[in-house]
Amino acid sequence: MNAPFPPRAKKRLKIATATLGGCFGCHMSLLDMDERFLDLAKLVDFDRSPLTDLKHCGPCDIGLIEGAVCNAENVHVLREFRAQCRTLIAVGACAINGGLPAQRNPLDLSDLMRKVYCDRVDDTAQIPDDPELPLMLDKVYPIHEIVRIDYLIPGCPPSADALWKFLTDLIEGRTPRLDYAHFRFD
């Protein structure tokens, strides 16, 4: 019989997280793991994330994307994540189906911008056009319409338990699965 393979030293995984057009609720849910977050920190290192304040993403094992794709900058960030992350996960309703930001989709974008920025009391009001500002997309897109996605964690936001279950499953090499109580769209 073949001798069993010698156990491999456990590799520390790298995780990156980002919010596109979202409310940071999914990140709050990540923090809502409480002391389990420290257990997570023992297993993984964080690359680009609001927690580390790194601005660009290096090669990573797991990328978590919260929020929908609303503007040109969101597209850049998302493509960078897809290029750098071996496993990319859409987290939360906005990333999965557009969520709240996508509620503008049945409306015309220029009408919307005029309504928000021009129909106000002062006459100088205009639609902001600073070159620093990323351009809005015609529609808000779920992230799977822009890049390939490996997994999705539904919820608005997904509970800390759901995130913990999903991440520990992935880190330990199991196929992640959510039980009924943690499979939620709201």
39 near other proteins, rule: CB under 8 A: no
Sign of CA dihedral 18, 23, 29, 34: positive
Nearer to other proteins, 48 or 152 (CB): 152
Coil/strand/helix, residue 64: strand
CA torsion angle 18 22 24 25 (round to 10): -130
101 near other proteins, rule: CB under 8 A: no
CB of 161 to other proteins, least distance (A): 14
Structure tokens at 3: 């001798």
Choose which of 75, 96, 162, 171 interacts with other proteins (CB under 8 A).
96
Nearer to other proteins, 52 or 103 (CB): 103
Q: What is the DSSP pairing of strand 85-91 with strand 60-66?
A: parallel
Structure tokens at 14: 């790298």
CB of 47 to other proteins, least distance (A): 25
Chain positions contacting other proteins, by CB under 8 A: 90, 93, 96-100, 102-103, 105-107, 139, 142, 144-145, 149, 151-152, 154, 156, 178, 180-181, 183-186
